[in-house]
Amino acid sequence: MGVSGCGKSSLGAALARECALPLIEGDDFHSAGNVSKMRAGIPLTDADRAGWLATLGDELAGHREGAVLTCSALKRDYRERLRAAVPGLRFVFMALTREEAERRVAARAGAHMFPASLVANQFATLESPVGEAGVLAVDATAPLPALVAQVRAWL
Question: Domain with 117 in it: what CATH number?
Answer: 3.40.50.300
The Cα 152–Cα 89 span in angstroms is 15
Please report the pLDDT score of residue 110 as a whole number: 63
pLDDT tens, residue by residue, 28-87: 998 889 888 888 888 889 999 999 999 999 999 999 999 999 999 999 999 999 999 999
Please report the pLDDT score of residue 113 as a whole number: 63
> Would you say residue 122 lies in a domain?
yes
Please report the pLDDT score of residue 76 as a whole number: 98
pLDDT tens, residue by residue, 69-82: 999 999 999 999 99
**How many domains would you assign to the chain?**
1
| DSSP track, the chain | --STTSSHHHHHHHHHHHHT--EEEGGGG--HHHHHHHHTTPPPPHHHHHHHHHHHHHHHHT-TT--EEE----SHHHHHHHHHHSTT--EEEEE--HHHHHHHHHHTBTTBS--GGGHHHHHHH----TTSTTEEEEETTS-HHHHHHHHHHH-
> Would you say residue 115 lies in a domain?
yes
Please report the pLDDT score of residue 115 as a whole number: 64
Least confident of 16-25, 27-36, 128-137: 27-36
Q: What is the mean pLDDT of residues 110-116?
A: 63
> Would you say residue 3 lies in a domain?
no
Residue 123 is part of which domain span? 8-154
> Would you say residue 2 lies in a domain?
no
Mean pLDDT of the chain: 92
Please report the pLDDT score of residue 140 as a whole number: 97
> Would you say residue 147 lies in a domain?
yes
Please report the pLDDT score of residue 42 as a whole number: 87
Q: In 3D, which of 30, 76, 36 has the Cα closest to residue 56?
A: 30
Answer whether 83's CB lies under 8 Å from 60's CB: no
